Amino acid sequence: MTEFWLISAPGEKTCQQTWEKMMTATTRPNTLSTNHKFNIPDLKVGTLDVLVGLSDELAKLDSFVESVVKKVAQYMADVLEDSRDKVQENLLANGVDLITYVTRFQWDMAKYPIKQSLKNISEIISKQVSQIDNDLKTRASAYNNLKGNLQNLERKNAGSLLTRSLADIVKRENFVLDSEYLITLLVVVPKANYPDWYKTYETLAEMVVPRSTELLFEDQDCGLFSVTLFRKAIDDFKHKARENKFTVRDFQYNEEEMKADKDEMTRLSTDKKKQFGPLVRWLKVNFSEAFIAWIHIKALRVFVESVLRYGLPVNFQAMLLQPNKKNMKKLREVLSELYKHLDSSAAIIDASMDIPGLNLSQQEYYPYVYYKIDCNLFDFK
């Protein structure tokens, strides 16, 4: 279970008392959750107007940053292809797994200096994550293009004999080349029709070279036969072949074109291998950056909402709870009982009512500050 509840409650005489009260309520007699203090530094408060505006902006930024984190994680899974089971070990934050990072969260003073205003810090994060989002689009587009071109070539070299490339099947000696009168055609014949082919191919047109057919290749359903005839009999032969369920492939032996195709396949395959390592490294680094930014956004939201709800001076304890899955309902009840005194109106407000200024119908409302952090978003099987 990697869902966390990030909550805050006002300090009693001290913040330590708030922490101890919550610990007692959630761990005795039964352990309803595993709890951690969530350290938020002394940030600049600013004016009430700014805080109210920032509260809405941070909600949007939270959703945006979360979406970028998910996109980077999902693209990591796409790029690793057959090694998807290794995705989780590549999704780290500051070199540690996500649960460890969240439960031991420390504000990054270097990236997000607390001497800056809250608005400035949110703008730093917004700019940083927007850059990651744009870079991801550019890199993904280039890699997907390369991968798509390679897959198209690979598809050409696989599949049914009716559609696949024949360049890696046929050889120069299978053809009569440079003849003014003769030409070699390639014909796809269903396996069940082999006897018919051998019996009739010489009579499908007037000028077929006797005993000129050769089976060059077979797949599960069909065989590829060569046959040599006079050029002026091509149309008649194709027409009669079609009537007999034999398919003449439109193919001309051209060594230069075939070599160009093979060279292109080699080039694309080499390019993909070259780009794979740097791309995975970029995804690892930028997943970490985006996830760290996301948790800092959560910290900012807790700070802003706590000041708006509990007032000044700043005096609240932020706490991270990891609920036991079986006890989530009970935990919610215990917290509501513990903190119901914080908001007497909470007991009488029906969340389904549409009250101007209170956007309750969009989300659950609790008397304490509450945000969910769901690390299950990044579980890949």
Q: What is the pLDDT of residues 208-227, one digit of tens each?
A: 999 999 999 999 999 999 99
pTM: 0.81
Instruction: Tell me, yes or no, whether 130 and 53 share the same domain.
Output: yes
Instruction: Tell me, yes or no, whether 200 and 135 share the same domain.
Output: no
Q: What is the CA radius of gyration of the chain?
A: 34
Query: pLDDT per residue over 114-166, tens digit each?
Result: 999 999 999 999 999 999 999 999 999 999 999 999 988 888 888 889 988 88
In a domain, 156, yes or no: no
Note the pLDDT of residue 134: 98
Domain enclosing residue 236, as ranges: 172-252
Note the pLDDT of residue 97: 93
In a domain, 285, yes or no: yes
Instruction: Tell me, yes or no, whether 13 and 115 share the same domain.
Output: yes
Exposure b/e, 22-55, CB count within 10 A at least 16 = b: beebbeeeeebbebbebebeebebeeeeebeebe
Task: At 161, list the tokens.
Answer: 């004999």
Measured CA distances, 134 to 69, 145, 251 (Å): 13, 17, 44
Instruction: Tell me, yes or no, whether 13 and 132 share the same domain.
Output: yes
Note the pLDDT of residue 358: 43
Place of tokens 């001076």: 313
Which three-class secondary structure state does DSSP give residue 285? helix
Instruction: Tell me, yes or no, whether 56 and 14 share the same domain.
Output: yes
Helix (H) or strand (E) holding 18: helix 15-27
Q: What distance in Å separates the CA atoms of residue 273 and residue 266, rounded to the nearest whole number?
A: 11
In a domain, 155, yes or no: no
Instruction: Tell me, yes or no, whether 242 and 287 share the same domain.
Output: no
Number of structural domains the chain divides into: 2
Instruction: Tell me, yes or no, whether 13 and 144 share the same domain.
Output: yes
Note the pLDDT of residue 259: 87
In a domain, 79, yes or no: yes
Instruction: Tell me, yes or no, whether 51 and 90 share the same domain.
Output: yes
CATH number at residue 129: 1.20.1460.10
Q: Which residues of the chain have pLDDT under 70?
A: 1, 344-363, 377-381
Instruction: Tell me, yes or no, whether 14 and 142 share the same domain.
Output: yes
In a domain, 159, yes or no: no
Q: What is 326-369 written as a DSSP string? A: GGHHHHHHHHHHHHGGG-GGGGT--TTS-BTTB-GGGS---SSE
Instruction: Tell me, yes or no, whether 284 and 145 share the same domain.
Output: yes
In a domain, 259, yes or no: no
DSSP letter assigned to residue 220: S
Note the pLDDT of residue 304: 96
For residue 112, the number of C-alpha atoms closer than 13 Å in the C-beta half-sphere is 29
In a domain, 265, yes or no: no
Question: Which residue, 190, 217, 252, sits at the end of a domain?
Answer: 252
CATH number at residue 200: 3.30.70.100
Instruction: Tell me, yes or no, whether 126 and 8 share the same domain.
Output: yes
Backbone angles phi, psi at 296, to 5 degrees: -65, -35
**Is the Cβ–Cβ distance between 159 and 168 less than 8 Å?**
no
